[in-house]
Structure 1
């Protein structure tokens, strides 16, 4: 039963989920590590960050620990050309992120309808409007082409990163044990058929 539930969580995490509408709340997770960087590194740092989307509001909670360098900045980057791989420019700087530390937690709320929260180049790339930038960011999260990156003095290009994925997701240590196989693919197909292509209904992701 435990294996079945873990497989269910993995299948749910790997399919497209619309991120938010005005009446619904969706939780997005990002499991960040050094090996997930591009190129990978041997950082001991980690983060399991949460992003709650409720209409135009995005609430970020980003704990982090055991970095090798001290923090200099953190961002949401968007949009890579393929899911879970590649690099992308900054989309949303995490303003006020704690700097000069190896452990900490960041909490902040962002109004996605406010053009000032977006990086200027990202905003310009999508017509210069907050509405277009919001749509691009949300689409990218649904496509798993947006990621959290925490930059440090030792790794200025990024010490730990994690792609944003609709919750729930399995702990990193369980990925190698799960295995999809025919049974997993069948479970995914049944869930997609049940919900019309989505792994679970929006609002029940958390």
Structure 2
């Protein structure tokens, strides 16, 4: 009986490892100079994205501050022709992430999406990838993995985007202390929450 329990535990452990291995984490530092075209916004933000196409889970965590305009929309764009440069259409839900704080210059956002639902995607992104959520998930995963997806925050002053950052699997560069302090406790709190969430 003990051997059977050990075998079941081992099988459960392998399944959990396989499920966890399919999830990928991405981060980005969002700034005005990273926009296309670049702008002189003093705003900045941090984004943490976890995507698991096997379990259809997309987690999005964002903290931002110091925007010159007030927020009008935020979403992930995918996929640019060249990694870490250019522009692309919106991949995630439109006109903005559901529940994203609008009309503000600073804030934080956290949400989890079921990517097997069409509502989690921009209809145009779905259509251009076979019209299915599976096609959208595949293209999105490839875009994230290749550095061809970015998170963009649009504002009243910069309708095409005030701050953005390409999502990467590597840790983003740490901003200068003076710039980082501009966000107050928002980004450090988001870093702590995201790190704890990723370890869980």
TM range (shorter): 0.7 to 0.9
> C-alpha root-mean-square deviation of aligned residues, in Å?
1.7
Runs of 4+ in 1 over 6 A off after TM superposition: none
- Residue 77 of structure 1 corresponds to which residue in structure 2? 77
Aligned residues: 155
Whether 1:156 and 2:159 are equivalent positions in the alignment is yes
1:41 equivalent to 2:44? Answer no
Q: Which residue of 2 aligns with 1:133?
A: 136
Deviations 1:133-163 (A, max 9, x none): 0010010011101100000000000000000
TM-score by length of 1: 0.71
On the 8 A contact 1:22/1:56 being kept in 2, the answer is no
Higher share in helix: 2
- In 2, are the aligned partners of 1:58 and 1:111 still within 8 Å (CA)? yes
Partner residue in 2 for 1:30: 28
Structure 1: gaps (5+ residues): 1-20, 174-204
Distance in 2 between the 1:98 and 1:71 partners?
7
- Can you list the C-alpha shifts for 1:74-102, whole angstroms capped at 9, x where unaligned? 01001110011001011103222110000
Q: Which structure 2 residue ranges, 5 or more long, are not aligned?
A: 1-17, 177-197
* Higher CA-based Rg: 2
Pick 1 or 2: higher relative contact order, CA cutoff 8 A, min separation 6.
Answer: 1
| Other-structure match for 1:197 | none
- Superposition deviation, residue 172 in structure 1: 4.5
